[in-house]
Structure 1
Amino acid sequence: MSDLDIWIIIIALGIGTFLIRWSFLGALGDRELPGWVLRMLRYTPVAVLPALVAPLVLWPAANDGQPEPARMAAATATVMVGLLTKNVILAIAAGAITLFGLLYLLG
């Protein structure tokens, strides 16, 4: 690819990204959203976070896509502490301690 092709792609992606963000902030930023939209938006983090984390736990790139006991145990510890305590910080800490501890112990 030539330099011109690369710059055209970069500029087109930049404009596309700007328009996507502007469509929510610029066009709808000063309007009140309907109640049903606000209710659905509450579930966005709950849907996105597992979608980001699940591939890292089930098919980690560090192991060429093979599941690993340390990552599975860390995910389980995170979920269990989160469910029991309802504290995000404690859940993250439990998962991190479990992951790093098992990675250290298992080599």
Structure 2
Amino acid sequence: MQASDLTIWTIILVLGVGTYLIRWSFLGALGNRELPGWVLRMLRYTPVAVLPALVAPLVLWPEATGGAPDPARLAAAAATVAVGVLTRNVMLAILAGATTLFGLLYLLG
């Protein structure tokens, strides 16, 4: 299906305005107000919920393997979680996962 230039630019502008309004709703409308304690407690868990949601598909259904899980990515995810839980250090966890992934990809070919 071919779309005209006007249609494409209209979609781009509408999506741009929409994402701006979503961000403004938190920063502009609520930026100067004190949020209730329960909201602040819930917001602390946002990164903990978002990061696994971004990473899980890359581990379980990697495009590099045609969507099939492979031992290198599963082991790297396990190493990352283990080091993160044991040390509580994000950088060490990332380093452990990256080292495991690249090491196993090299060894397994």
Report the TM-score range of the alignment, normalised by the length of the smaller protein.
over 0.9
Q: Which residue of 2 aligns with 1:10?
A: 12
Q: TM-score, normalised by structure 1?
A: 0.98
For 2:107, the equivalent position in structure 1 comes to: 105
Give aligned-pair identity as a percent: 80
Deviations 1:50-86 (A, max 9, x none): 1111110000011111000000000011111111111
User: Equivalents in 2 of 1:57, 1:64: separation in Å?
Assistant: 12
Q: Give the counterpart letter for 1:12 in structure 2.
A: V
Residue 77 of structure 1 aligns to which amino acid in structure 2?
A
- Output aligned runs, 1:39-54, within 5 Å: 39-54=41-56
In structure 1, give the amino acid aligned to 2:82.
Answer: M
RMSD: 0.6
2:85 matched to which residue of 1? 83
The aligned residue for residue 26 of structure 2 is 24
Please name the residue that 1:66 is paired with. 68
TM-score by length of 2: 0.96
Hey, which bits of structure 1, 4+ residues long, moved more than 6 A?
none
Q: How many residues are paired up?
A: 107
Residue in 2 aligned with 1:95? 97
CA offsets per residue over residues 14-62 of structure 1, 9 Å max, x none? Answer: 1101111111111111000010100000000111111111110000011
Q: Which runs of 5+ in 2 are unaligned?
A: none
Unaligned ranges ≥5, structure 1? none
CA distance in 2, matches of 1:43, 1:8: 36
State the distance in 2 between where 1:86 and 1:26 align. 34
